[in-house]
Amino acid sequence: MFWGGATRIRGHFLGQVACGVKKCTKCPQAFKKQLQDIDQAKREQETQKRKVQDLDEAAAALSQGPTKNQSTLKAAFGKQDKFKINALWGRAFYGNGLFFHLINDLHFKAAVEATADFGEKYKLPSLISLRTTLLDKEKVSVAAELKSFMVSVQSSKATITSDGWSDTRNRPLLNLLMVTPKGEKFLESVDTSGDTKDANFIA
């Protein structure tokens, strides 16, 4: 038994040592193959997206026809600008106590990339819209995704896993998650105060 979220659970099944967990010796090969195929599809999608961006940048550079000196100067200033932007991102993480692995989150990356595509005129959503309009729309979207997810579970295998943590009042909580080849779903959170969290209790 180990403590961890969906990423560590997936790493446990796939034997990814970098996740800090031991390899699961009882994971069916068919299930492992499905997880590997999903990861491979995500990597290929990211690679293809980067290739398209590189082609767009190359086409834009060719259309402008800069001289060699101009290109060198632009590259030098570009490195300085990138360093400043990276420093600002670092400060945002450090100043707000954000988890470092957020930088690899697919939703986070999608938001950053969409912002870059929009351009310099984009303004971040207000605090009020984050707490009201955007939140309400996200609830509707997530509910629709969960409905589709539960329908897909009927035709595939699923594994129930647990993830222990403590809330702001230091209560020991146990999260229950459903893991399938199509993704993970949070089921419920149980207050385990006063209980011994051994294999029999979790089962």
**pLDDT, the chain, mean:** 78
- Range 17-32 average pLDDT: 67
Q: Which residue has the tokens 């005129």?
A: 121
Three-state DSSP class for residue 170: coil
Whether the pTM exceeds 0.75: the reply is: no
pLDDT for 62 beyond 50 = yes
| 176 occurs within a structural domain | no
Are 77 and 95 in the same domain? yes
Are 108 and 89 in the same domain? yes
Are 73 and 118 in the same domain? yes
| 102 occurs within a structural domain | yes
| 94 occurs within a structural domain | yes
| 6 occurs within a structural domain | no
Are 88 and 105 in the same domain? yes
Confidence band, pLDDT 50/70/90 cuts, at residue 85:
confident
| 184 occurs within a structural domain | no
Contact 182, 197 (CB under 8 A): no
Are 114 and 136 in the same domain? no
Q: What is the pLDDT of residues 128-156, one digit of tens each?
A: 999 999 999 999 998 898 888 888 777 77
Single-letter code of the amino acid located at 200: N
Instruction: Report the pLDDT value the prediction gives residue 181, as an integer from 0 to 100.
Output: 79
- What is the distance, to the nearest Å, from the Cα of residue 181 to the centroid of all Cα atoms in its chain? 16
**Whole domain around residue 106: which residue ranges?**
69-122
Alpha-carbon torsion 178, 184, 187, 188, what sign? positive
The CB density around residue 179, as the number of other CB atoms within 10 Å, is 20
Q: Which residue has the tokens 């930088």?
A: 103
Are 98 and 130 in the same domain? no
Query: Structural domain tally of the chain?
Result: 2
User: How distant, in Å, are the alpha carbons of 6, 10, 38 from that of 185?
Assistant: 9, 13, 16
Instruction: Report the pLDDT value the prediction gives residue 125, as an integer from 0 to 100.
Output: 92
Instruction: Report the pLDDT value the prediction gives residue 65, as an integer from 0 to 100.
Output: 55
